[in-house]
Amino acid sequence: VDVKLDLFAEIERLKKEKNAILLAHYYQEPDIQDVADYIGDSLGLAQKARQADADIIVFAGVHFMAETAKILNPSKKVLLPDLKAGCSLADSAPAAPFRAFKEKHPNHIVISYINCTAEIKALSDIICTSGNAEKIIESVPKDQPIIFAPDRNLGAYLNKKTGRNMVLWNGACMVHEIFSLEKITKLKMRHPNAKLIAHPECEEPVLAIADYIGSTTQLLKYSQTDTAMEYIVATETGILHQMQQAMPGKTFIPAPPNNSCACNDCPHMKLNTLEKLYLCMMYEKPEILMDEELRLAAKKPMDRMMEISK
């Protein structure tokens, strides 16, 4: 017999049965966003995970996000639908060379973007996200030298915004470096009233022509409150789902990539599927498990971020 499962209904059932909360990042496929209890940017998701009082946190996102949830709320079982859902940016900062880099700059404090492993967090003084990075940097005295890791694009943008001269680790996100300035410029000519909104992980030439720069939540809010009717969106395509739902009368165009075979989907984020989500809730696997010493060391700079960005 051909028995088809209604995965949406099954996931809702498992949420209730197991007292689980489903958190999803905006870059998840639309089906996953539709079944989530909360959709957010990295900051919102970390705050939600910290407060969660369910028995299970199901994290539809990438590994560093689920790991962050475990760091902040260790008594909960934290599940990630696909353990291989990594992050090119987190991968661009391995612990051993980063430790050596830090030793070369002994009087510097380390501010790390949340898109990094627990090992890098443990080597950092404060964590930030794209939603609170300026505030975090401004909280540090002006004469205090800073290392910023791992994203060179976000770091360069923040240096410009805050007038600092932070030493940057040379890492980047594969998705946000894919956009073509030439194609965006041509698109802008064809859509003269469209505004370009961009994530700060994009490269400097794209940010230089953007009308607004912000985290995923900030881009979504801007597109809801701003008066333009058309937007070119320079970030991962998953965010367009919430934009279109919130503002059905507006047009959202994904910024074109430099290679016509490429796309703006994050291959890591998109490893999660509705089927994997269902199976992970059903079997309560894969689970994020952490060494307690590492967790505590990684929690310290996370707590500082939470305190400053209150």
Structure tokens at 265: 């989907």
Q: Is 309 in the site for ligand 13P (CB under 6 A)?
A: no
Q: Is 72 in the site for ligand SF4 (CB under 6 A)?
A: no
Euclidean distance between CA atoms 66 and 46, whole angstroms: 9
Cβ 102 vs Cβ 87: under 8 Å: no
Euclidean distance between CA atoms 263 and 201, whole angstroms: 16
Q: How far is the CB of 57 from ligand SF4 (least distance, A)?
A: 18
Q: Which is nearer to ligand 13P, 82 or 102 (CB)?
A: 82
Q: Is 33 in the site for ligand 13P (CB under 6 A)?
A: no
Euclidean distance between CA atoms 271 and 286, whole angstroms: 14
Q: How far is the CB of 274 from ligand 13P (least distance, A)?
A: 20
C-alpha closest to that of 242 among 232, 252, 227: 252
Q: How many residues does the chain have?
A: 310
Q: Which residue in this structure is represented by tokens 């919430």?
A: 242
Binding pattern to ligand SF4, positions 90-129, x when CB under 6 A? -------------------------x--------------
CA dihedral 268, 274, 279, 285 (to 10 degrees): 30
Q: How far is the CB of 171 from ligand 13P (least distance, A)?
A: 12
Structure tokens at 259: 């290679």
Residue 237 interacts with, from ligand 13P, ligand SF4, none (CB under 5-8 Å by kind): none
Q: Is 203 in the site for ligand SF4 (CB under 6 A)?
A: no
Helix, strand, coil shares of the chain, percent, nearest 5, are 45, 15, 40
Angle in degrees, 0-180, between the axes of helices 42-51 and 63-72, rounded to the nearest 10: 40
Q: Is 42 in the site for ligand 13P (CB under 6 A)?
A: yes
Q: Is 88 in the site for ligand 13P (CB under 6 A)?
A: no
Dihedral of alpha carbons 170, 127, 223, 236, sign? positive
Residue 174 interacts with, from ligand 13P, ligand SF4, none (CB under 5-8 Å by kind): ligand SF4
Q: How far is the CB of 238 from ligand 13P (least distance, A)?
A: 10
Q: Is 269 in the site for ligand SF4 (CB under 6 A)?
A: yes
The site for ligand SF4 (CB under 6 A) is made up of 27, 62, 87-89, 115, 173-175, 236, 266, 268-269
Please state the residue numbers annotated as binding site: 25, 42, 87, 113-115, 130, 173, 199-201, 216, 266
Please state the residue numbers annotated as binding site for iminosuccinate: 25, 42, 113-115, 130, 199-201, 216
